[in-house]
Chains A and B, each alone.
Chain A
Amino acid sequence: MLWYRAWVESRTRFLLIAVCLTLFCAAVVLFHGQTELVLTDALRGLRSRTFSEHIYELVYSGTAKGMFAILVIFLGLGGLGRERTHGTAIFTLALPSTRLQIVITQMAVGLLELAVLSLLPALLIPPLSPLVHQYYPFTQALHFSVLWFCCGSMIFATSFFLSVVLAGEYTAPVACFLVMMLDAGSSALPTTRAWHLNLMWTMGDFATMHWDPGPNLLLSAPLPWARLAVIALLTLCLLAAAVRSTRKQDF
């Protein structure tokens, strides 16, 4: 029942994001010829020489990635704090389940939704590409899905934690967005650049892509497992902190 409740609470947000990502990815693939012509005129420098570059620049390192990162903030907003504002927190707490169960179910449903969203481009781009006589490798798409899920879960956890500790309807999303901007800004400094702290760069495999003349594809480097493990650890810490805060809160 808790799983169903968490799903009902988040499904509008999830479905809205999923529909938009689907439409965007489908449009990028199906109208790639027209898009390239338009972008050549409108945004100089974005012209893609090949289909894989086109996909990388618009989906994995461009608009879709930014859209995904910002919308995951809203997917992560959960916890019992919002229910306190609506006056429903006491009913939820009266359910025959612990606070831990309630919060962990919300997190699990959110992370499952995030996994589906991360997989969406991989499920769409490779199968749609042959329709326009192009090819995009599934392994490459899956590579980015892993990156999107790992980095997305960090954004999700930050948003979830902030929505537990901060009051106010839009305080948590604003704070989370600022944390993301702070991360992007501080990691661009010459002194911190070598640490690869920028989550958005990790998501888009920034500066590690290489050109393979054989299959004529823009390919990524192997997954940065050590960095992803650190991100996963930080995610777990944030989620644990959210659970701990919820257990101590007074409703």
Chain B
Amino acid sequence: MLWYKAWRESQGTFLMSAAAVSLLCLAFALLHKEASGGISNEPLTYAVYIWKIVYRGYLREVFVILVLLLGMGGLMRERDNGTAGFTVTLPVSRRRLVLVRAATGLLEVLGLAWLPAVLIPSLSAAAGESYPYAQACQFALLWAAGGSFIFMIGFLSSCIFAGPYTPPIAGFLALMAYSLLSDLPVAERYSLDVHDLMSGTGRPWFELSTARLISPVPWIPAAVFVLIASAFIGLACGITRKQDF
């Protein structure tokens, strides 16, 4: 029942996000000749174009913002709606409520991350081009790892701040602060930039000239971000347990 509740609460945002990602993939693949001229003055190969517009550029930025909004599922939001009292009287622990809501959201992030991997290669074929499934799947794994970290920033923010719009603003600002700090040389040395992980920019496993991932999925950096996201779940549980509704 908790899973169904969590799904019902987030399905609107998820379905809209999925529709948006799908439509953008469709547009980017089918209008590649027109769009390619828009993002670069020099002629681009199809793989470079896809990387620039999907995996590094527009679609990745859309994905980041959508995932942040998907994370708005903490109990503080329910307090503002006046339903927190009912939810916390359900015969389950607050920890379980938070875990189920986070797990549902993370599954939705996984779904969103895999959408381009399913759509881009097939739509490319329809547009008379080709994009390898293997590359798309590797990027999907990186997006899932990076997305889970960004989702948890949003989720934590919605566990700490009340009101409908304060959590997304706080989450976005936290993400901005993180993004600026992760560009510092100290953070760069430890590959702590989630945006670079998702796009491959400047990473040894990515070849910029062909815009391809040249070695197997970088499991260690991806696992580090998943671990941080897991720690954030624990933190969200701890914060929610201490809150007064």
Contact = CB atoms under 8 A, between A and B. Distances in A.
Interface in A41-71: 41-43, 63, 67, 70-71
A189 B35 contact: yes
Interface string B4-23: 00000000110011001000
A42 B192 CA distance: 13
Interface stretch (B91-99, B178-186, B206-214): B178-186
Interface in B1-57: 12-13, 16-17, 20, 24, 27, 31, 34-35, 37-39
B62 A188 contact: no
B129 interface: no
Interface stretch (A95-103, A168-176, A218-226): A168-176
A63 B58 CA distance: 16
Contacts of A191: 34
Nearest to A35: B180
A169 B11 CA distance: 12
B141 interface: no
A174 B69 contact: yes
- Max chain B C-beta neighbours (<10 A), residue from A12, A181, A185, A188: A185
B108 to A, nearest CB: 13
The DSSP consensus for interface residues of chain A is: helix
Interface stretch (B115-123, B162-170, B224-232): B162-170
A35 B20 CA distance: 36
B233 interface: no
Interface string A159-194: 000000000111101110110010011001111010
B61 A86 contact: no
A67 B179 CA distance: 12
Given A16-B169, A174-B13, A174-B69, A42 B61 contact: no
B62 A168 contact: no
Contact of A13 (B35, B169, B184): B169
B183 A174 contact: no
Nearest to B36: A190
Given A17-B169, A20-B173, A86-B81, A181 B62 contact: yes
B169 A74 contact: yes
Nearest to B34: A189
Interface in B60-106: 61-62, 65-66, 69, 72, 77, 80-82
Contacts of B66: 174
A147 interface: no
Contacts of A82: 164
A173 B81 CA distance: 18
Nearest to B69: A170
Contact of A190 (B13, B34, B81, B170): B34
Contacts of A12: 163, 165-166
A37 to B, nearest CB: 9
A174 B77 CA distance: 18
Given A86-B81, A189-B34, A171 B13 contact: yes
A175 B16 CA distance: 8
Nearest to B183: A42
16 contacts: A13-B166, A16-B166, A38-B183, A67-B176, A70-B172, A74-B165, A74-B169, A168-B12, A171-B12, A171-B13, A173-B168, A174-B13, A174-B20, A184-B58, A188-B38, A190-B37
Interface of A: 12-13, 16-17, 20, 38-39, 41-43, 63, 67, 70-71, 74, 77, 82, 85-87, 168-171, 173-175, 177-178, 181, 184-185, 188-191, 193
